[in-house]
Amino acid sequence: DTGVSQDPRHKITKRGQNVTFRCDPISEHNRLYWYRQTLGQGPEFLTYFQNEAQLEKSRLLSDRFSAERPKGSFSTLEIQRTEQGDSAMYLCASSFDSPPQPQHFGDGTRLSIL
Amino acid sequence: AQSVAQPEDQVNVAEGNPLTVKCTYSVSGNPYLFWYVQYPNRGLQFLLKYITGDNLVKGSYGFEAEFNKSQTSFHLKKPSALVSDSALYFCAVRDIGGSYIPTFGRGTSLIVHP
């Protein structure tokens, strides 16, 4: 079990630029989740995949956000035309879900918008 | 709908004393409940879960939690706090008959004083 890996750990970019984050889940997990966390808050759900299918998206996920999980392995989260309000920690988690299992989180990508 | 409340932003306790971090939840049906811990600049780490069975659940690092259905609570406890327990603690709930996505509380900062 090598754990959930996220890359990069930190990203600093100018407002209006596009950014892409990568998540490598625990290999045998079929579910993959993306969350956003801001200071003083718990993780807020963005989207999740079961294998390669994106099954649910939060209303928080505007049209500028897109996520993919080709072949049901790693996942990418892209933010287009970044805004100041996008500054946050983006967390990825993976799990089995049958029977209900806890999520395993990566250490996140911290995004700072200048 | 599902929700979780952590009524205390911060809990202070002296090393060696017992600690309690409070969590209450609301679900339409029956809950799955989880506790996670987060250290600075890290992802969330799973501590323990309640799915069914005994109301007292034991987890990692000497933590335990008691499920109380009548009070809709799932408080986290430890008999003797360590300075290294100082961290952010998150409670999460999932409705058994609902979404696969857990809802997280805002978190409680635990500070253990030497």
Question: With bands split at pLDDT 50, 70 and 90, how would you rate the model's confidence at A1?
Answer: low
- Measured CA to CA, the distance from residue B105 to residue A43 in angstroms comes to 8
Inter-chain CB proximity B44 and A103 less than 8 Å: yes
Mean pLDDT of all residues belonging to chain A? 92
Residues of B in contact with A55 (CB under 8 A): 100
Answer yes or no: is pLDDT of A84 > 90: yes
Instruction: Determine how many CB atoms are found less than 10 A away from the CB of residue A81.
Output: 12
Residue A99 — pLDDT band, cuts 50, 70, 90? low
Mean pLDDT of A37-47: 93
pLDDT digits (tens, 9 = 90+) for A45-79: 999 999 999 998 998 788 999 999 988 899 999 99
At a CB cut-off of 8 Å and minimum separation 6, what does B98 contact?
B2, B27, B28, B29
Question: Chain A: residue nearest B5 by CA?
Answer: A42
Question: DSSP assignment, residue A8?
Answer: -
pLDDT digit string, tens, across residues B45-91: 999 999 888 899 999 999 999 999 999 999 999 999 999 999 999 99
CA distance B31 to chain A (A): 11
Determine the Cα–Cα distance for residues A60 and A46; give it in Å rounded to an integer. Answer: 6
Q: Is B100 exposed, middle or buried (0-12, 13-18, 19+ CB in 10 A)?
A: middle
